[in-house]
Copies of this chain bind each other. A is one copy, B any other.
């Protein structure tokens, strides 16, 4: 913003403005937005000086007089000079400034380059690799994980109910499909559902949570079905963020984090409060670090929420029950709204590790906590053994939410009408899978076990192979689907980078030379001076060996 303002006040800029108003450049544009960025920029710069948010937010006379000019000028000029002088309404300098602040590394520049490389390969351009391996995001099916047969049979039956007469479909799949369709308007997945989600699905989710949490009660009325977990997380943050200046809402997130959090907070203009996971202790969470981060943040914002990802993304740790209890106590003491991202709850591999839901621990801590601590927990159809990312299914459970706020939440989600119904149907199957004695049970267990043990094996292998490489140190992958090893990057390479983070430089080079697409640690956040990359452990052509080769070559090259 300050840079914008400097441009804005420079004489050159006012020259460029009148320049634009006379010669424009609009005529150079072709449909399809194919006008060059350069000319867009110069056109934009003319308007920038008059509408940029930094100006608009500056108080007093200067604003009103200038903005009057802004609204007056182009109109008059246009009637004189015709549209050739017409500048764009929406430019990089006149768009929503909070959107500009959004960053999303797992789909950032390195992934865009990976897509280009795939295209070049498909066009027959020679590369030092036969194909691009996208190890940047947990996209299970794209990595060859097979969908659960039962789930897809039911989805087919729900999509085309004529198949209910097809004798080749198992009876339990048909009864699930009937159960879902009966809850749909006009017995069709094409009808809108209730905004909170289909009632019967929310009831099935509640029963699933009660089973998962050893009988702790769950009210279906506290379940909101979502468009993937991301939708639920963003919706909760939307409710929480308010205030201005030193009273602006602050939200605590782990570093390394999943960049959805930083992106959503940037868009909402909330204050991101970083607490660092302890890499030396296998990415565990230290309450003392939470306290440090909170106390510092209280000097300049109003911390109101604490986000936890367990099992961890991208760090793969699984929190101990004790740690979760401590976190809940901390949230209670400090009056923080807890957000528990638990989408990897079935992805726990390491011996001695077990998933504990925040809900269950909260209720085991007794009424002193279970009646008061506000919690939202999130789950999804995208991860675990399902990996059904494309269906965008998910749910959130809210605990101890103020009833008036809950009414506001219900109203807010009604604006997007409803989550995609096929995703809701899939969520229903995840929480209500084949039961012992049902025809599909054996095959369901077989498929689920095969997927989960393949994930466990790959996680272990990744750790083992990477730890044989001098200069790479990898914590045990206790859960989720990623490893986040630390890198030693030679000084020469650190100096080499052209305005890039050293680990971005490293990952870009790896992509160009090996076709492996990793996300640099800088995209998730890391302690200054440390370097990492995030590697999806769940890839078809197991890339750790290639990573090993590359790292050795890279280290030699820059030593």
Q: List residues of A whose CB falls within 8 A of some B CB.
A: 26-27, 29-37, 40-41, 43-44, 51, 53, 55-57, 59, 63-64, 67, 70-71, 74-75, 78-79, 82-83, 86-92, 94-97, 99-100, 102-104, 107, 115, 137, 139-145, 147, 152-153, 155-157, 159-160, 163, 184-186, 188-195, 217, 219, 221-222, 227-228, 230-231, 234, 238-248, 260, 263-264, 267, 298, 302, 304-305, 332-337, 363, 367-372, 374, 386-392, 398-406, 408, 411-412, 414-423
25 contacting pairs across A/B (C-beta < 8 A): A27-B367, A27-B371, A32-B399, A33-B219, A33-B399, A35-B402, A37-B403, A63-B245, A63-B246, A63-B247, A71-B302, A83-B332, A89-B335, A89-B337, A95-B405, A96-B241, A104-B411, A107-B414, A140-B191, A145-B186, A184-B390, A263-B415, A391-B420, A420-B420, A420-B423
Q: State whether A104 touches B63 (Cβ < 8 A).
A: no
Q: State whether A155 touches B144 (Cβ < 8 A).
A: no
Q: State whether B417 touches A368 (Cβ < 8 A).
A: no
Q: What 8 A-B pairs are tightest by C-beta distance, nearest first?
A: A142-B185, A56-B247, A390-B421, A32-B219, A56-B243, A156-B160, A141-B188, A92-B404
- Minimum CB–CB distance from A229 to chain B (whole Å) comes to 10
Q: State whether A190 touches B96 (Cβ < 8 A).
A: no
Which B residues touch A399, using CB under 8 A?
31-33
| Contacts known (A96-B238, A163-B156, A421-B390); A86 close to B32, Cβ less than 8 A | no
Which B residues touch A141, using CB under 8 A?
184-186, 188, 190-191
Which B residues touch A420, using CB under 8 A?
227, 390-392, 420, 422-423
Q: State whether A401 touches B304 (Cβ < 8 A).
A: no
| Contacts known (A160-B156, A190-B389, A230-B416); A403 close to B242, Cβ less than 8 A | no
Q: State whether A56 touches B404 (Cβ < 8 A).
A: no
Cα distance A337–B184 when bound, in Å? 38
Cα distance A250–B191 when bound, in Å? 34
Q: State whether B89 touches A304 (Cβ < 8 A).
A: yes
Q: State whether B186 touches A144 (Cβ < 8 A).
A: yes
In the complex, the chain B residue whose C-beta lies closest to that of A145 is B186
Q: State whether B90 touches A337 (Cβ < 8 A).
A: yes
Q: State whether B415 touches A143 (Cβ < 8 A).
A: no
Which B residues touch A302, using CB under 8 A?
51, 56, 67, 70-71
In the complex, the chain B residue whose C-beta lies closest to that of A103 is B411
| Contacts known (A139-B191, A144-B186, A219-B32); A75 close to B392, Cβ less than 8 A | no
Which B residues touch A88, using CB under 8 A?
374, 400, 402, 405
Cα distance A31–B239 when bound, in Å? 20
* Other 11 A-B pairs with CB < 8 A, given A56-B302, A90-B401, A264-B415: A29-B371, A33-B406, A35-B402, A53-B243, A92-B404, A95-B239, A95-B408, A155-B159, A227-B392, A230-B417, A391-B421
- Minimum CB–CB distance from A32 to chain B (whole Å) comes to 4
Which B residues touch A89, using CB under 8 A?
304-305, 335-337, 374
Q: State whether B90 touches A32 (Cβ < 8 A).
A: no
From B86, B185, B304, B371, give the contact of A31 (CB < 8 A). Answer: B371
In the complex, the chain B residue whose C-beta lies closest to that of A168 is B166
- Minimum CB–CB distance from A33 to chain B (whole Å) comes to 5
Cα distance A76–B433 when bound, in Å? 48
Cα distance A83–B334 when bound, in Å? 11
In the complex, the chain B residue whose C-beta lies closest to that of A44 is B402
